[in-house]
């Protein structure tokens, strides 16, 4: 008789669990949401970066001065309010970097709603590692 569990490392012939239509619909819905988040994040960040580049090339006087990239979120948001091209480009890059992090956060929520404790814990650990690396990362020497 065949098992209805995923195989462990010793049982490569086990059959995956049988999923009902409701589970397939939930998986399809989750996949669609994650796909939508990734697409919106990439498109939004691309549009913002292109806008920043456009501002940079439209203001030749600004190019003659030394343009410093903002190094903190406060500098980015202040620069965006002042329409500084480097800050706008940095905002686009921040959104691009944040997109997969949001995907992991959505996965945590989805696994928790499915009562899948194992993948909820694993995804939470991944998210904590990502957030910790952002907080501790210094960039440069």
Which pLDDT tens digit goes with each residue over 61-96? 655 555 678 888 899 999 999 989 999 999 999 999
Rounded mean pLDDT, 12-35: 62
Distance, CA of 18 to CA of 97 (rounded, Å): 37
Alpha-carbon distances, residue 80 vs 47, 67, 74, 88, 101 (angstroms): 14, 14, 10, 5, 22
CA angle, residues 90, 34, 42, in degrees to nearest 5: 25
What single DSSP character describes residue 113?
H
- The better pLDDT of the pair 101, 61 is held by 101
- Confidence (pLDDT) at 71: 85
Region of poorest pLDDT, from 35-39, 56-60, 77-81, 105-109: 56-60
DSSP string, 117-130: HHHHHHHHHHHHHH
């Amino acid at each position: 008789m065949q098992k209805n569990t995923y195989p462990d490392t010793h049982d490569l012939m086990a059959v995956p669990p049988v999923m009902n239509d409701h589970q397939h619909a939930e998986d399809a819905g989750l996949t669609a949401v994650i796909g939508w988040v990734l697409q919106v994040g990439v498109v939004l960040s691309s549009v913002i970066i292109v806008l920043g580049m456009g501002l940079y090339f439209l203001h030749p006087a600004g190019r003659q001065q030394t343009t410093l990239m903002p190094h903190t979120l406060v500098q980015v948001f202040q620069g965006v309010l002042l329409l500084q091209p480097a800050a706008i480009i940095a905002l686009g890059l921040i959104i691009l970097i944040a997109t997969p992090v949001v995907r992991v956060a959505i996965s945590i929520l989805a696994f928790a709603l499915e009562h899948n404790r194992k993948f909820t814990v694993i995804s939470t650990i991944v998210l904590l590692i990502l957030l910790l690396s952002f907080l501790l990362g210094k960039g440069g020497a």
